Amino acid sequence: MDTPIDQHSSSSMKKVVYHQFGERDVLQFVNSDIPSPQEGDVLIRVHGAGLNPIDWKTRKGFGFVAQQIESSLPWTPGYDVAGEVVAIGDGVTTLAPGDRVMGMIGFPLNGGGYSEYALARADELAIVPEELDLVRAGALPLAALTAWQALFEVAKLEPGQKILVHAGAGGVGHLAVQFALARGAHVIATASAGNRDFLAELGVHEVIDYHTTDIADECYGLDVVLDLIGGDTGKRSLRTLGENGTLVTIPTVTADEVVSAAEELGLRAHGMTVRPDVFHLDEIAELIEDGDVKVHIEKAFSLDQVAQAHALLEGGHVRGKLVLDCR
């Protein structure tokens, strides 16, 4: 049961809910009973909860998740968490209380990350490397899995290939460029002039200012394009592909039109929806352990600042990731 926030006890927790779709003022900060893990579940004391564009779009009633959850509101958003295991349900043998874990949880219909405590399936969770603090780790899973699956499952990026990453300084983008570099690719990224140095420090070989340069005039013969913008940008980017190149477009709302445009030109383009995958998270954690990948946090917010966090999230142009510090 949810109660006003001033009635907090040791058996309750704070979380964010909304009872209807709408602007940021529908986000409520409430007390709720701490849940108990059922069979196969793990209860996590959340340290960090990542924010992703799907969070504000769903809150406004946009997209397939909103359609599915409308009849079951109220709802607690958030798919990205990292924290400490505090209890396990029956049948859980891979994790124990005290383990530091991260995962993409409750996707797509359960969510639950914007909370001091969250339930997750044990098979959704990976161990967080010691090199990564738990607040920062909370920003990683969904964006990292999106980048990983787009590059290595869909596009099948190989060492030595040339890849263009649109919005290279963003949440998915800044991880994608690092994954591609670690794989041995030649990496080109689009960004604003203000993010040129940031991307250069990550090791990106060429940074193109999308305000002043048309990528279709600058790039050609590419093996892979990761389109994180969609629409006209995705369609124009088809002209940069080599004969056997592949474009992966992430925004679902324009994916069909980008793929159709590719087919008309005899080129390959694919849409993609991310999915939880603990084995991919383990591989990503190894890259972090080895120092090959860093998670950049533009700003951390407390749980009760969630409306401010959504304001920044909706505005776009975030460098790296935003995260809720739920400690």
What confidence tens digit (pLDDT) does each residue in 60-111 have?
999 999 999 999 999 999 999 999 999 999 999 999 999 999 999 999 999 9
pLDDT of 169 higher than 80: yes
Each residue of 140-167: b (16+ CB within 10 Å) or e? bbbbbbbbbbbbbebbebeeebbbbbbb
pLDDT number for residue 32: 97
Helix axes 171-182, 141-148, angle to 10 degrees: 50
User: Angle at Cα 95 formed by Cα 115 and Cα 123, nearest 5°?
Assistant: 75
Here the tokens at position 193 are 């002039």
Question: What contacts 235, CB < 8 A, 6 or more positions away?
Answer: 257, 258, 261
Q: Does the residue 132 lie in any domain? A: yes
Q: Does the residue 158 lie in any domain? A: yes
pLDDT number for residue 62: 94
pLDDT number for residue 10: 73
Compute how many other C-beta atoms are within 10 angstroms of the C-beta atom of residue 237. Answer: 26
Residues 46 and 16 in one domain: yes
Q: Please write the tens of the pLDDT for every residue from 210-268.
A: 999 999 999 999 999 999 999 999 999 999 999 999 999 999 999 999 999 999 999 99
Run of H or E including 1: none
Domain of 318: which CATH number? 3.90.180.10
Q: Please write the tens of the pLDDT for every residue from 44-54.
A: 999 999 999 99
Average pLDDT taken over every residue of the chain: 96
Q: Does the residue 277 lie in any domain? A: no
pLDDT of 3 higher than 70: no
pLDDT of 7 higher than 80: no
Phi/psi-derived region of residue 98, left when phi > 0, alpha when psi is between -120 and 50, beta in every other case = left
pLDDT of 173 higher than 80: yes
Residues 64 and 158 in one domain: no
Contact 172, 228 (CB under 8 A): yes
pLDDT of 5 higher than 80: no
- Kindly give the pairing relationship between strand 100-104 and strand 80-88: antiparallel
Q: Does the residue 255 lie in any domain? A: yes
Total domains, the chain:
2
What is the rounded distance in angstroms from the CA atom of residue 83 to the CA atom of residue 88? 14
Q: Please write the tens of the pLDDT for every residue from 268-296.
A: 999 999 999 999 999 999 999 999 999 99
Q: Does the residue 216 lie in any domain? A: yes
Residues 30 and 132 in one domain: yes
Residue 121: beta bridge partners?
A: 41
Residue with more model confidence, 7 or 281: 281
| Boundaries of domain holding 64 | 12-140+295-325
Residues 86 and 186 in one domain: no
Please count the CA atoms within 13 angstroms of the CA of 86 that sit on its side-chain side: 14
In this prediction, residues 171-183 reach a mean pLDDT of: 98
Phi and psi angles of residue 323, each rounded to the nearest 5 degrees, phi first: -145, 150
Residues 29 and 133 in one domain: yes
Residues 41 and 112 in one domain: yes
Domain of 179: which CATH number? 3.40.50.720
In 125-279, which ranges are E strands? Answer: 125-127, 162-165, 186-191, 206-209, 222-227, 241-249, 268-271
Q: Does the residue 285 lie in any domain? A: no
Tokens 């324009």, residue? 254
Nearest in space to 142 (alpha carbons), one of 271, 274, 49? 274
Cα dist from 160 to 157, 167, 185, 297, whole Å: 9, 22, 5, 29
Residues 119 and 212 in one domain: no
Q: Does the residue 53 lie in any domain? A: yes
